[in-house]
Amino acid sequence: MKKRIPTGVDGLDDVLGGGFPRGSLILITGNPGTGKTVFSARFLYRGAVEYGENGVYVNFSEDRETFYENMRLFGFDFERLEKEGRFRYLDFLTVRETGVSSILNMILEEISRIKAKRLVIDLFSAIAQAFERPHDARILVHTVLGRIVRKAGCTTLMIVEVPFGEERIGLGMEEFVADGVLNLERKEYEKSLLRELSILKLRGTRVAYPKLAFTLEGGFQVFPPITVTGISEPEGRYRIIPHSKESFSMGIRDLDHILKGMFRKGNYDLLEIEGDVVYPLEKLTRPTICNFLNQGHGVVVLPPQGLTGETIRSSILPYVEEKESQSNFKVIDYAFTGKERSKDPNIISLRGASILEDLERFWSICSELRKKTGKSVLSVVGYDSIEYIYGEKDALKTLGEDVARIRNNKDVRINIIRPTAFIASQLGALSHIHLKVKQIDGALFLHGIKPETPLLNINLTEKEGFSEIKLIPIL
């Protein structure tokens, strides 16, 4: 098997088994504006900076100054690399006058001069249009393969632009001679921008995940599926993010910034979980719950379907600082026939026979915590559990009073629901904030309905001993 070289694109190497095969020719295709140049620039930049592999960028459509200026916006300082002798930029805007052999000789000279191991040719489409005879363009492709890629050992990316409305790549023959083809797309997904990278071909590679979501944020990064990255537990506690006088923090700085103080007292909010999400539900609300508990607030959780009181408590307590705060955390469970009651005094069992009786107990627990702490109470309720246990009609009958209690007591509520639940649309209509959690190409995303947000990849990071949820937008 050929040695792999890292692509330099975060998240992609995990899917490709380490990167591109060394010395291969890879086509980067797509419509205008899909990110082909940024992808290729990152391949060269990180190759030089992080992996010690010098690079050459050959451009047939853009001059040096424009390229350098555009790439600085993504954090790529190619001018510095060129001064250090680790990078060369060649532009052939007047390719007709230059000729095929002259172009090839100049490319080979620069590769030899700086001992380049990486090469980008942007755009092959421009070459094909510039030559009067398609035969000359075909000669160039085969020569690139034979003399540059194979003999010089240069791993080469060749950018091919696909006009809107067309499916054929370039002259229709490049994809057959190339070792790999990656296609970039820019599309609309539920009124939001979605960018997708499709691995159409990569010789010697078992591609289990041929389609991946990506963003140009931070200079191109791919969001690998959860099944590739795994679902890790935070190593450190979540950093406390203080509430303000006007609003609460959800324990996720990026989300606070997006909501701009919308998470307030009296809020009745909704977190909708789409059916294909495999991420554990208790982890989605954990930063918010911990941020309230660690600032002395009471929290009451009625788990969504599939979770028990013990599961919720055990997932939260390692990240709560004081014992007093831990006692402010109450979890509701149901004592069905034959089910043993929990011995934990902070797990309260309800009978599940009367919704009015059980919700009165729920509200009294909230009231007790409010009096004890002197602060607003956060309640997290799996409304799919309420609908399942008491039925659709009873769930709807008590919805109005539930909203009124939250608003009158100046508490804050996060409801959790699956879209298949009957009551989902009613909860969405009543909510101040409505967020959806979904999986796209195997990766986890948050999407704001109220307020509208771009697709936001959910990513757990560790920084200075603290765990933090980062939300990375698709831009």
In this structure, the answer to whether residues 209 and 313 fall within a common structural domain is: no
CATH number of the structural domain spanning residue 36 = 3.40.50.300
Q: Are 122 and 261 in a shared domain?
A: no
Give the pair of three-digit tokens for residue 200.
């159409």
Instruction: State the SS3 of 29-72.
Output: EECCCCCHHHHHHHHHHHHHHHHCCCEEEEECCCCHHHHHHHHH
Q: Same structural domain for residues 150 and 10?
A: yes
**Residues 331, 262 within the same domain:** yes
The helix (H) or strand (E) run that includes residue 13 is helix 12-16
Sequential pLDDT tens for the chain (475 residues): 578 999 999 899 989 989 999 988 899 999 999 999 999 999 999 999 999 999 999 998 888 999 999 999 999 999 999 999 999 999 887 655 566 667 778 888 899 999 999 999 887 656 666 556 666 666 666 666 666 667 777 899 999 888 665 665 554 555 567 889 999 999 999 889 999 999 999 988 888 899 999 999 989 999 999 888 766 777 778 889 999 988 999 999 999 999 999 999 999 999 999 877 877 777 889 999 999 999 999 999 999 888 888 888 888 888 888 887 889 999 998 875 455 666 778 888 888 889 999 999 999 999 999 999 999 999 999 999 999 999 999 999 999 999 999 999 999 999 999 888 888 999 999 999 999 999 999 999 999 999 999 999 998 887 777 888 999 999 9
Q: Is 413 exposed, middle or buried (0-12, 13-18, 19+ CB in 10 A)?
A: buried
Length of the chain: 475
Structure-block tokens of residue 102:
């002259």
d(CA 173, CA 156): 17
Q: How far apart are CA 455 and CA 475, in angstroms?
A: 9
One domain, residues 336 and 442: yes
229 falls within a domain: no
User: What's residue 357's pLDDT?
Assistant: 92
Q: Say if pTM beats, i.e. exceeds, 0.85.
A: yes
**455 inside domain:** yes
Same domain, 202 and 294: no
Same domain for 215 and 91? yes
Q: Is residue 25 located within the same domain as residue 115?
A: yes
What pLDDT shows up at residue 190?
86
If 0-12 CB within 10 Å is exposed, 13-18 middle and 19+ buried, where does residue 263 land?
buried
Q: Is 407 part of any domain? A: yes
Looking at the fold, whether 284 and 209 belong to one and the same domain comes out as no
| 247 lies in some domain | no
Q: What domain count does the chain have?
A: 2
Distance between CA atoms of residues 460 and 458, nearest Å: 7
Domain span holding position 34: 4-224
Same domain, 195 and 311: no
Which regions of 169-294 does DSSP assign to beta strands (E)?
180-189, 192-202, 211-215, 221-223, 268-273
**What is the CB neighbour count within 10 angstroms for residue 189?**
16
Supply 303's token pair: 């788990």
- Which of 224, 243, 278 is the last residue in one of the domains? 224
Residue 259 shares a structural domain with residue 204:
no
Structure tokens at 159: 């950018």
Q: Which of 224, 243, 272 is the C-terminal boundary of a domain? A: 224
Strand, helix or coil at 314?
A: helix
Q: For 102, which DSSP code?
A: H
156 found inside a domain: yes
Q: Is 59 exposed, middle or buried (0-12, 13-18, 19+ CB in 10 A)?
A: buried
Q: Write out the two tokens for 416.
A: 């959790």
Q: How many other C-beta atoms lie within 10 A of the C-beta of residue 306? A: 12
Q: Is residue 242 part of a domain?
A: no
Q: Residue 230: inside a domain, yes or no?
A: no
Q: Are residues 37 and 183 in the same domain?
A: yes
Any domain includes 245: no
